[in-house]
Amino acid sequence: MSDVGKRAAGEAAAELVEDGMRLGLGTGSTVAYFLDALAARGLDVAGVPTSEATAARCRELGIGLLDTAGVARLDLCVDGADELDHALQLTKGGGGALLREKVVATLSDRFVVIATADKLVDRLCDTFALPIEVVPFAVGPVTRSVQGLGFEASVRMRGDAAYRTDNGNAIVDARCDGGVDDPAVIDVTIGLLPGVVETGLFIDLADLALLGDDNGEVTRVTTVGEPDR
């Protein structure tokens, strides 16, 4: 998919924002279009960024920032996804911000996912690896345990060094040939491994997906799996 679909989804999400809202601000290339469209509307809003990159972009655009220490609830979270299925279960974390993204999503009254139409899949963790945030000390044991569950697992690298998240942790990427049968079970099973901080499976969190295509059209998918243009 081209950037046309990303832009269309981001701009559609910006139209859902109302003056005075407190927002969860996701991370990634599709969210960048959302932030641009949001800033252009000139609303009095502020949000909690899910990454240092998003925080920096908000400062450039003049979007106010909030901190989780002083926020009990957020009105709306807008974020991207690496994959989503027809029940709006998600795989996230390709950009390494999965922990902060999940914290912010759980604080939000409504969670809207923006992505290109090709991100909609029948089974998660097949075409895109599942990111798992792990404390550095536990990378070896966690990688072997995840492999023991039937995944192909490897430590994410940046050049010659292990990748580090904004929180200073490592990422183990896990792929399952054919996808997973029950994402919720996998989320709990991997999440209980000692040293795992968080998984990139977002279960029962999303309320709406806005999926843009190469023609600039946006399909709305709800939690009941019914598309509506």
Instruction: Check if the beta carbon of residue 35 is closer than 8 Å to that of residue 65.
Output: no
Is 18 part of the annotated catalytic residue set?
no
> In terms of Cα–Cα distance, which of 215, 134, 208 is closest to 167?
134
d(CA 86, CA 77): 20
Which distant-in-sequence residues (6+ apart) come within 8 Å of 184 by Cβ?
89, 201, 203, 204
Task: Return the residue matching tokens 């968080």.
Answer: 198
Task: Fill in the DSSP letter of residue 129.
Answer: P
d(CA 179, CA 129): 10
d(CA 129, CA 60): 32
Q: Which of 11, 83, 101, 133 is catalytic?
A: 101
Which stretches of 166-215 are assigned E, i.e. beta strand?
170-175, 196-199, 201-202, 208-212
The catalytic residues are 101
